[in-house]
Each structure stands twice: as C-alpha cells, then as structure tokens.
C-alpha cells in the first residue's frame, strides 16, 4: 500500500499543480498595481513654489472644490520629456494640472519648461522627495487625479502616453 501511494505521489503533486494553475487561469493577476491611496484623502504636505513666477501648493489647496491632476515630474527625467506633449493635450481638453518638481532646481525647471512646454497652473518644489513619499509614488513621472474634496481618485504610474489619454479623460470626467 505504501509503495502504491509512493508511486502515485508524482501524480498527486501534478494534480495539485493543475488545480492551482486552473484557478490562476480563471482569475489572472491584474498587472496594474492598485494604489493604496485611491479613495483616500491626499496625505498632508505643503510645498514652496518651485519658480518665482508660479505659486506652490499643499494638500489643503487640493480640496478647493475643483478637481486637479497632480503630476510628479523632474527636469532630469527622460520619460517626462515624452510625457510633456500629452500633458499639453490634456490641458487643452480642460484638465487643470499642478506639478510637483522632484529633487530639482529652479534654473533646471525653467529650462525644461521652456523646451518642453508648460501646462502647470502651480508647481511645488519637492527638493527631498518628501511629497513623493507621502503620495506613495515610486518614481517619476506619476500622476494623480484628485477630486474637489481632496480625495485621490486615480493614480497613473509612469509617463502618460497618447494611448492612456482616453482612460485619463474618462477618470477626469468622473470627478468633474
């Protein structure tokens, strides 16, 4: 009996494997990491203006009744260059955008915006990446849609590319 069981052991292990594989195939893992902060209020932060020409902002300013798209960017970030024209298109379609400049300097930001275009209503300076950490962002660029009451409704990791525009616009329409 033990020998029979032993001989059937590989088969039993395989059956277990097939069970797990079937379950996984029926319920494939989602490839997008759902941000823990979606549905929660913006965590507290307050940022000084990154440039003398534009105001900075803080978490409190995001609960001002109007939805905003908060975009984390940096002049040293290559994907941000690819993202800039898409942000310009979003702005043209009525999206209000605030920027957070991560670990950057005013001269570099000015140069970046003059070359790549400037769609930001406000830009906060985040020289140490504190707001980035508070928002649970892992890198640059990332974007958040915050509704008029200061609740995060959408989190996009990486550059917003042309193919992402319909999704971002759909999320924007929801909070308007």
The continuous run of DSSP H or E covering 73 comes out as strand 68-73
3-state SS string for 109-147: HHHHHHHHCCCCCEEEEECCCHHHHHCCCCCCCEEEEEC
Stretch that binds other proteins, among 50-58, 103-111, 115-123, 146-154 (CB under 8 A): 103-111
Choice from 53, 66, 76, 173 touching other proteins (CB under 8 A):
76
Task: Provide the mask over 81-100, with x wherever binding to other proteins is found by CB under 8 A and - wherever it is not.
Answer: -x------------------
Number of residues counted as binding other proteins (CB under 8 A): 32
Q: Does 10 sit near other proteins (CB under 8 A)?
A: yes
For the record, the structure tokens of 96 come out as: 């209000």
Q: Which of residues 33-72 bind other proteins (CB under 8 A)?
A: none
Distance CA 37, CA 69 (A): 15
- Mention every residue, 6+ apart, whose C-beta is less than 8 A from residue 111: 75
Stretch that binds other proteins, among 6-14, 47-55, 58-66, 86-94 (CB under 8 A): 6-14
Q: Tell me the residue ranges of DSSP E strands in 74-121.
A: 97-102
Residue 66 or 130: which CB sits closer to other proteins?
A: 130
Q: Which of residues 105-134 bind other proteins (CB under 8 A)?
A: 105, 108
Q: Does 3 sit near other proteins (CB under 8 A)?
A: yes
For the record, the structure tokens of 12 come out as: 């039993």
Distance in Å, CB of 20 to other proteins, minimum: 5
- Pairing mode, if any, of strands 142-146 and 68-73? antiparallel
For the record, the structure tokens of 20 come out as: 């797990």
Q: Does 79 sit near other proteins (CB under 8 A)?
A: yes
């Amino acid at each position: 009996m033990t020998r029979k069981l032993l001989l059937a052991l590989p088969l039993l292990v395989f059956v277990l494997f097939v069970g797990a594989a079937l379950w996984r195939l029926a319920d494939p893992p989602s490839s997008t990491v759902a941000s823990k902060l979606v549905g929660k209020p913006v965590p507290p932060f307050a940022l000084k203006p990154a440039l003398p020409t534009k105001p900075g902002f803080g978490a409190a300013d995001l609960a001002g009744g109007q939805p905003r798209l908060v975009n984390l960017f940096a002049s040293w970030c290559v994907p941000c260059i690819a993202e800039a024209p898409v942000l310009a298109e979003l702005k043209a379609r009525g999206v209000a955008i605030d920027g957070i400049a991560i670990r950057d300097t005013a001269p570099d930001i000015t140069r970046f915006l003059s070359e790549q275009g400037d769609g930001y209503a406000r830009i906060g300076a985040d020289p140490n990446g504190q707001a980035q950490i508070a928002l649970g962002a892992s890198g640059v660029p990332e974007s958040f849609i915050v509704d008029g009451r200061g609740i995060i409704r959408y989190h996009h990791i990486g550059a917003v590319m042309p193919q992402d525009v319909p999704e971002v616009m759909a999320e924007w329409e929801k909070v308007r």
